[in-house]
Structure 1
Amino acid sequence: MNIDTTSLIRDMGMNAGLLCFLAALYSIVLSGLRHPDLGIRKARQRWLPWITGLMFGVIGILTMLVPLRLAEGVIVDARLVMAGLAGAYLSPLGAVLCAVVLGAYRLSLGGIGSGPAMVGIVLTTGIGWLWQRHRPYFSPQRFGAFSDGVWLIGLGLSLAAGGMLAIQTLPPEIARAVTTRSWMAVVVIYPIGTVLLGFLLDNTQKLNQREETLEQTAETLKTMLAEARQAASVFVNSKDTIAIVQPDGTVLDVNPTYSNVLGYSREELIGKSSAVLRLDEGGESTFLRRVAQAIERDGRWHGELVRRRKNGEAFVSEVTIEGIKDPDGVVRKWVSVGKDVTEQRRLEQALQQFGNYDALTGLSSRRLFAKELNATLQKRIETNGILALCLLDIDQFKDLNEQWGQPLADQFLRVFAQRLRAEAGPDNLIGRIGGDEFAVTLKDCAHTEAALQRLEGLRQSLARTAVLDNVQLRLTCSAGVTFYPDDLGDADGLLRHADLALYAAKEQGKDRIAVFDIQQGQRLQARRHTAKLVEDALLQGEMELFFQPKVRISDGQVIGAESLIRWHHPERGLLAPGAFMDDIVGTPASGKLDYWVLDAAFKAGHTLVTQGCPLPLSINIAVPTLIDSQFQQEVARLLKQHPTLPQPFLEVELLETETFNDLSAVAYVIQGLDDLGVHCSIDDFGTGYSSLTYLQRLPAQIVKIDQSFVREMLDNERDRALVRGIVSLAHAFNRTVVAEGVETTAHAGALRDLGCDGLQGYGIARPMPLPDLIRWIRAWQPPPEWVGAPQPVR
């Protein structure tokens, strides 16, 4: 154990040399991180903790190759300095890796000092990490130029203390001997080695940071140069006019586009006042002051200027002016960027003109008419007299368009507008509100009767025959009128009320004037609302067909079913037709619903066939839909699309009270449907005024007795006689008779005795959805008394 101090210092000096070698390697590793490729830099950054940790660990092992043996199994070297510096300079991963390498090697050497050596490695690594965490405390503000030296000396002394503390874990006798022999060397060499290597590592890191800063500065300068070149390129090649001016309006520079647009050369503009290039309102000083205030407040000014070219031509330019701040933060220059928007503004004016006036007739559009009407109403607040607002709609204009084509229809609209302008006079407002709908106001009417006389005379003048392309045309028009101030409201309200009155005129037979009535308007508005809800319900799938079976009285067999619409209303629940059908009569919603029912009936028929229950179905169709030119074509298409349906499949039921007004047209369509194999029936027979006429002139195959007669026939001899007469009359014309409203077997027996052919009513089955109908058909058994019962001879 006798080893002199000179030998100890010599060996420690050799370890110090290894520490210097480590600093050089560390510098090489850090310099390798600088690479122009960002991906490579990131990859090297990920490997840095592993490389530096292994490097510190390997150098630590080399220091252990020249140890000082103070006792058997007791070795003193610089490995603890290495572990401490790893904790102080490396990342946690690198420091741990270094400690693992040193510990593994020391354990491989064995000896009584292995345990204390492990304690020393862990202790000094932790001491180094703590000093790294608190290095910001040793700032130049606290310790001046010696801050790094103070930190390193403190680190070295802490490592020496840690090493001596680890020695104390040896057995007491050995610990005292080792401490006595090595404390001077440890206290001297550990701080010296720490300061030496730490100084080298610090300078290496600072040098590397300085080089990185220089590279970043070079990149920044390169980017700024590229941006400057790009800005110069934008300035020169931009299609916008760009000028740099002083706040007093003096032009400093302009780009080529600026010169080309204004017709001046760059030399003619530089140094001149920009006032010669603008047509300012309020003068140059006012404009510049306004721009300066906007830049001070918002950093920019944006607006439109009327500029003057060198040839004197004026044009509209959209301009943005921004302030350019000097390094001291003072705005001494403005940059003006503009573009010529003259054509764009002309187009916008043309579009505005197009939106305010009807292109075909030259009359005011609905928007402009409402605007002018509101202005007129404002002026009339303090004046007497009545203002009449009238909406005119050309009757049969759709037929004109379909028969003669759009060009002739457009000519007629122009003639109509010319006549309306001439008859109404220049002091009254006139506008085209829709396709064939016009609006006119009559001002200062003494009373409503006088206004109505003037409107009727105007309407008659509009109905005069017009000769267009050798075609004589005479179309009447319907009118709806409301009077202000009896009807108080704005333009939209008055137009809405006049439209409701026009709707009433159309319902009353067209070619007439209807005056807005508040109660009538409310009813019409409610009807329109219901019609809109029905159309929405069709789109949202809220409608469903229910089916009520019909049976043959002779044998009780099911011979068909009537399709009945039901509405699954989202708020009111399941609605029968009586809850909404009356409100949609005569509206487009009625036709849409009829076509929906037609299509749904064919789909139901297809389902019945696929379920093994083929059955004819009847549908209720309004007369306007029946005589529509598209209806018969749609029926033919659907029959062709579903060839597997039973023949005959479809039966069309028509209300007797509806057919009277269009008897000839209805008879023509019924004959056409019969050619397709479609039967027709007269529904609610006996409730109209000319039942015999219907049987004579309508080729319908079936007559349905109204349920109001059938229900009371058992107790009311008059109703029984009516039923008997209807059956006899129908059979005389070779028609099949079906009775509605059959509620009991007694009704069925009485109808059988009278010679009725078919039965329908709650006594047989209530209306039901399609799946229930299929189950009902499969389960239906006619009453025993029907089977084999004698039938009257027809």
Structure 2
Amino acid sequence: MASGAQASAWRVAMSTLDTQDVASPSESAFRYANEAIIITNADNQVIEVNPAFSELTGLALEDVRGKTPEAFSILPLDDHRSVRLMREELQLRDRSKSQVSYRSHDGQFYPGMLSINRVRDTQGRVDHHVMVLADLSAIPAHARHLNREVYFDALTGLPNLQLLTQLIQESIQHAENQQQTLAVCSLDIDHFQAINERLGLTVGDALLSAFAQRLSHQLFGDDVLARIGGDEFVLLLHHGVDDVFFEKLLGSIRQPLMVEGQVVYLTASLGITRYPHDHVQGDVLLRHANQAMYRAKQRGRDTHHFFDPHHDRLLQARHEQRQRFMDALDHDELRLHYQPQVDMRSGQVVGVEALIRWQHPERGLLSPGQFLPAIDATPLEIDLGEWVIEQALRQLASWQTANIVLPINVNISPAHLLTSQFSQRLAALLARYPTVSPALLKLEVLESAAMHDVTAALQTMARCQALGVSFAIDDFGTGYSSLTHLRQLPVSLIKIDQSFVRDMLVDRDDMAIVESVIYMANRFQRPMLAEGVETLEHARALMVLGCELAQGYGIARPMPPEALPGWLEQWPLRDDWHGLSRLQ
């Protein structure tokens, strides 16, 4: 059969390349492409090859003209059944891709990737085929004598993890040279283990092979599909990809597969990262794609998720911060500072609150806001909580020897309070300091702590009270159901949040909240303490409203334990504050 007009045009165009000074972009692409390109007519007989083909195989156009690729040893990697399937695929589809072996210029056979695109004329008839042969040159020269099993999956014939690792590095280099993007997509079949157990290993293997074949039909040009184990696949995509492409890919995966007489429906979870947006080495790209794939599974499966390098850097920084905090615990870099609490009516010091600080060797003294967010909702919260309780008990014992007997309020996180062994651990810590009365330890819990599990919170607090330890609600007014908490929780002190107290003199809403909290506390006969008292004006206003206990910068800033005795000596000399006792 004579080749069509388009195939004839190829011959004419290629024959003029040597006589023209300037070639068209398409002609230049054909001549200077790195991959071997073969043009065949409608009968799959060669009509043109590019210089890369001749360099790769050692065959000139005259050697292969009029022959089919199989005639000059471009063959599927598997048996005769695979040869038949490849021919059938060529007949049925306008685009296909398969693993092949080809005879190189040195006479040896090497693995390659053959992409075939069928070109039709304006009437829809097959005119010619464009074939791209990639020699998978990522395989190092010194290893070419090894069996193909070293680099290819035995079941599907796809590149395995070892070859994929090298292909990723080569693809990165190609993307940099061409200033293009590379997408690495990790794909995992959803619930495949259950499917495998239901259908059996034999059908499962056939299903994986059919699945791999279906995926390969969705790829373009020099894209790569690899199987790295079980039901896990990886795609290297060299063309621009977006949500539309991956939705189309997922849609193709959802189509039923006929395997061994059974119809099977599959879905998959996809995780994608893109280079150079994710500018890391190949093994890290693969790891990031896997992370995104697991995120897709967490979102419900049968979807795709793009890796976010910025978010990952934040997570990495948070991990490093947590690791550094663990070191701080181990290396005794944490400190407790203490802020006095006073009765404004009598002027008496009624206790202190223990506040965590970090004496960082490079950054100096760090406040809680500079490091506590990093350990939020992690087991480090519990480690820190136990450390604070023990340090407070140790300080109580030390102050008792100096005739200073003041209760210490310790902040406990909701997660720590609701651990199953909290009361037992507290009892063990108290037992280490038998000279310290448990009544000197007051545990402050956030108002929202009990909302996590009201029943568990009440039970834990009851067991702690049986040990002689009392409770305070911290930051009252910021939670969800303050009245309910006030009625249910066994607390001996309510602390009014400083965010309301600080601006109560200039903000009507804050003043209204403070008034409401004081009213409720008085109605339920609970003592209350205002945080954030910075001036005498704050103190007078609170006393008028009925709140007489306070702490804040106007009274004293948090101080190291060795500074407290000196402050206690100076406090009676503060006539301005002691003058509050004369207020009616």
* TM-score w.r.t. length of structure 2: 0.54
Provide the C-alpha distance between the structure 1 equivalents of 2:381 and 2:297, rounded to a whole number of angstroms: 16
CA 638–390 in structure 1, closer or farther in 2 if over 3 Å, else same: farther
Return 5+ residue gaps in structure 1 as ranges: 1-368, 393-413, 433-438, 459-478
Provide the C-alpha distance between the structure 2 equivalents of 1:415 and 1:648, rounded to a whole number of angstroms: 57
Corresponding residue to 1:525 among 316, 333, 341: 316
CA 379–495 in structure 1, closer or farther in 2 if over 3 Å, else same: closer
Contact 2:438 2:467 in 1 (8 A): no
2:553 aligns with 762
1:197-226 deviations in Å (ceiling 9; x for gaps): xxxxxxxxxxxxxxxxxxxxxxxxxxxxxx
CA 480–708 in structure 1, closer or farther in 2 if over 3 Å, else same: farther
Which residue identity lines up with residue 389 of structure 1 in the other structure?
A: S
1:714 aligns with 505
1:450-501 deviations in Å (ceiling 9; x for gaps): 768999999xxxxxxxxxxxxxxxxxxxx99443556453354236646876
Which residue identity lines up with residue 437 of structure 2 in the other structure?
A: P
Cα offset, 1:695, TM superposition: 2.3
2:446 aligns with 655
1:424-454 deviations in Å (ceiling 9; x for gaps): 947665679xxxxxx9544368755776899
Which residue identity lines up with residue 608 of structure 1 in the other structure?
A: W
Provide the C-alpha distance between the structure 2 equivalents of 1:682 and 1:480, rounded to a whole number of angstroms: 46
1:348 aligns with none
Which residue identity lines up with residue 785 of structure 1 in the other structure?
A: G
CA 720–370 in structure 1, closer or farther in 2 if over 3 Å, else same: farther
1:181 aligns with none
2:578 aligns with 784
Provide the C-alpha distance between the structure 2 equivalents of 1:416 and 1:605, rounded to a whole number of angstroms: 63
2:15 aligns with none
Contact 2:336 2:354 in 1 (8 A): yes
1:388 aligns with 185
Provide the C-alpha distance between the structure 2 equivalents of 1:624 and 1:509, rounded to a whole number of angstroms: 27
Provide the C-alpha distance between the structure 1 equivalents of 2:490 and 2:530, rounded to a whole number of angstroms: 19
Secondary structure of the residue aligned to 2:578 is coil
1:471 aligns with none
Contact 2:186 2:290 in 1 (8 A): no
Provide the C-alpha distance between the structure 2 equivalents of 1:505 and 1:659, rounded to a whole number of angstroms: 33
Provide the C-alpha distance between the structure 1 equivalents of 2:426 and 2:552, rounded to a whole number of angstroms: 27
Q: Does 1:737 align with 2:528?
A: yes
Q: Does 1:443 align with 2:240?
A: no
Cα offset, 1:664, TM superposition: 4.2
What is the alpha-carbon root mean square deviation over aligned residues?
4.4
Contact 2:476 2:495 in 1 (8 A): yes
1:282-324 deviations in Å (ceiling 9; x for gaps): xxxxxxxxxxxxxxxxxxxxxxxxxxxxxxxxxxxxxxxxxxx
Corresponding residue to 1:583 among 360, 363, 374: 374
1:687 aligns with 478
CA 727–515 in structure 1, closer or farther in 2 if over 3 Å, else same: farther
Provide the C-alpha distance between the structure 2 equivalents of 1:746 and 1:513, rounded to a whole number of angstroms: 59
Cα offset, 1:698, TM superposition: 3.4
Provide the C-alpha distance between the structure 2 equivalents of 1:508 and 1:618, rounded to a whole number of angstroms: 42
Contact 1:373 1:491 in 2 (8 A): no
Written as runs of structure 1 = structure 2, the 5 A alignment for 1:20-31 is: none
Contact 2:458 2:489 in 1 (8 A): yes
Contact 1:386 1:448 in 2 (8 A): no
1:713-758 deviations in Å (ceiling 9; x for gaps): 2333432222111011123233221100111222222212212142
2:432 aligns with 641
Written as runs of structure 1 = structure 2, the 5 A alignment for 1:79-478 is: 374-375=165-166, 377-378=168-169, 386-389=183-186, 425=208, 440-443=232-235
Provide the C-alpha distance between the structure 2 equivalents of 1:430 and 1:775, rounded to a whole number of angstroms: 69
Contact 1:648 1:679 in 2 (8 A): yes
CA 649–638 in structure 1, closer or farther in 2 if over 3 Å, else same: same
CA 370–659 in structure 1, closer or farther in 2 if over 3 Å, else same: farther
1:402-428 deviations in Å (ceiling 9; x for gaps): xxxxxxxxxxxx999989x97994766
Provide the C-alpha distance between the structure 2 equivalents of 1:522 and 1:551, rounded to a whole number of angstroms: 45
Corresponding residue to 1:620 among 403, 411, 429: 411
Secondary structure of the residue aligned to 1:784 is helix
1:483 aligns with 273
Provide the C-alpha distance between the structure 1 equivalents of 2:468 and 2:418, rounded to a whole number of angstroms: 17
Secondary structure of the residue aligned to 1:586 is coil
Provide the C-alpha distance between the structure 2 equivalents of 1:658 and 1:613, rounded to a whole number of angstroms: 32
1:234-288 deviations in Å (ceiling 9; x for gaps): xxxxxxxxxxxxxxxxxxxxxxxxxxxxxxxxxxxxxxxxxxxxxxxxxxxxxxx
CA 773–570 in structure 1, closer or farther in 2 if over 3 Å, else same: same
CA 452–716 in structure 1, closer or farther in 2 if over 3 Å, else same: same
Cα offset, 1:539, TM superposition: 1.6
Contact 1:391 1:499 in 2 (8 A): no
Which residue identity lines up with residue 740 of structure 1 in the other structure?
A: E
Secondary structure of the residue aligned to 1:648 is helix
Cα offset, 1:647, TM superposition: 4.0
Provide the C-alpha distance between the structure 2 equivalents of 1:531 and 1:493, rounded to a whole number of angstroms: 22
1:158-197 deviations in Å (ceiling 9; x for gaps): xxxxxxxxxxxxxxxxxxxxxxxxxxxxxxxxxxxxxxxx
Greater RCO structure (CA 8 Å; 6+ sep): 2
Q: Does 1:670 align with 2:461?
A: yes
Provide the C-alpha distance between the structure 1 equivalents of 2:364 and 2:400, rounded to a whole number of angstroms: 30
Cα offset, 1:525, TM superposition: 2.0
Provide the C-alpha distance between the structure 2 equivalents of 1:390 and 1:375, rounded to a whole number of angstroms: 19
Q: Does 1:573 align with 2:364?
A: yes
Cα offset, 1:675, TM superposition: 2.6
Cα offset, 1:709, TM superposition: 1.5
CA 587–777 in structure 1, closer or farther in 2 if over 3 Å, else same: same
Provide the C-alpha distance between the structure 2 equivalents of 1:645 and 1:515, rounded to a whole number of angstroms: 56
Provide the C-alpha distance between the structure 1 equivalents of 2:486 and 2:478, rounded to a whole number of angstroms: 14
Provide the C-alpha distance between the structure 1 equivalents of 2:468 and 2:187, rounded to a whole number of angstroms: 49
| Structure with the higher strand share, 1 or 2 | 2
Provide the C-alpha distance between the structure 2 equivalents of 1:604 and 1:657, rounded to a whole number of angstroms: 29
Return 5+ residue gaps in structure 2 as ranges: 1-159, 176-180, 213-225, 254-268
Secondary structure of the residue aligned to 2:427 is helix
Provide the C-alpha distance between the structure 2 equivalents of 1:578 and 1:680, rounded to a whole number of angstroms: 24
CA 615–766 in structure 1, closer or farther in 2 if over 3 Å, else same: same
Cα offset, 1:505, TM superposition: 9.3
Written as runs of structure 1 = structure 2, the 5 A alignment for 1:587-606 is: 587-606=378-397
Secondary structure of the residue aligned to 2:186 is strand
Which residue identity lines up with residue 273 of structure 2 in the other structure?
A: F
Q: Does 1:555 align with 2:346?
A: yes
Corresponding residue to 2:422 among 631, 652, 662: 631
Provide the C-alpha distance between the structure 2 equivalents of 1:627 and 1:787, rounded to a whole number of angstroms: 41
2:31 aligns with none
What is the number of residues matched between the two proteins?
Answer: 375
Contact 1:507 1:586 in 2 (8 A): no
Corresponding residue to 2:333 among 526, 538, 542: 542
Q: Does 1:749 align with 2:527?
A: no
Cα offset, 1:637, TM superposition: 0.5
